[in-house]
Amino acid sequence: MPDLLTHVLVGYSIGTLLSVRYEQVRPAQVTLVMVGALSPDFMKITPAIPTGPLEVVTGDPISWAPLHTLGGSVLVVLLGSLLVAPDYRRQAIVLTAIGAASHHVLDVALLTATGEAYAVFFPINTYRPPSPDLYLSTDRWPAAVAGVLAAVSWAACRYDLTEPLPISD
């Protein structure tokens, strides 16, 4: 599962750097970016919630795969925003959308046999952008790089590395 860990660490890094820049972004909001970074992978819910009983109720075939597209991310972000208080919904939508966007950016860079990424813009269009073929989802080095990035962003937030260091005479 290095792919999931990579998405969480990148979401943490983005959220932490946003918290350095914007004072209204606190640790709870950093968590929203992390959840957003995982949201396209909610399609992997199939083992926990099989589609068979749902197909019997609806009478139509059901697939969780569209959750891993732009349309699915918008749906998850909007439905997820209903879980927070109305005063915080706009912020929750923006932060989870940032996390979901980071997930899609990372997944478009995956190595594929066809040289094309998945149809990330579905249902708007079915265009499959060319993939830069940087890594496999099973590679561990992206998680290591994301871990270093997360540690640096944590240190920047924890030790306030945004302030200039005092120069002693």
Mean pLDDT (whole number) for 11-28:
89
Structure confidence at residue 68 (pLDDT)? 85
Query: The domain containing residue 9 runs over which residues?
Result: 2-158
Domain for residue 49, yes or no? Answer: yes
157 has pLDDT over 60: yes
| Domain contains 163 | no
Instruction: Compute the distance between CA of residue 136 and CA of residue 28 in angstroms, rounded to an integer.
Output: 31
**pTM attached to this predicted model:** 0.84
Beta bridge partners, 135, equal 110
Tally the domains of the chain.
1
Residue 78 vs residues 89, 93, 97: alpha-carbon distances, Å: 9, 7, 9
Beta strand ranges found along the chain (DSSP E): none
Q: Which two tokens stand for residue 33?
A: 């970016």
Give strand pairing partners of 110.
Answer: 135
- What pLDDT shows up at residue 167? 66
Q: What is the pLDDT of residue 8?
A: 94
Specify if 114 maps to a domain.
Answer: yes
Cα torsion 43, 46, 109, 152: sign:
positive
Q: Does residue 25 contact residue 15 with C-beta atoms inside 8 Å?
A: yes
* 48 is a domain residue: yes
Q: Is residue 74 domain-resident?
A: yes
Query: Cβ atoms within 10 A of the Cβ of 130, count?
Result: 11
Q: Give the Cα separation of 127 and 93 in Å (integer).
A: 25
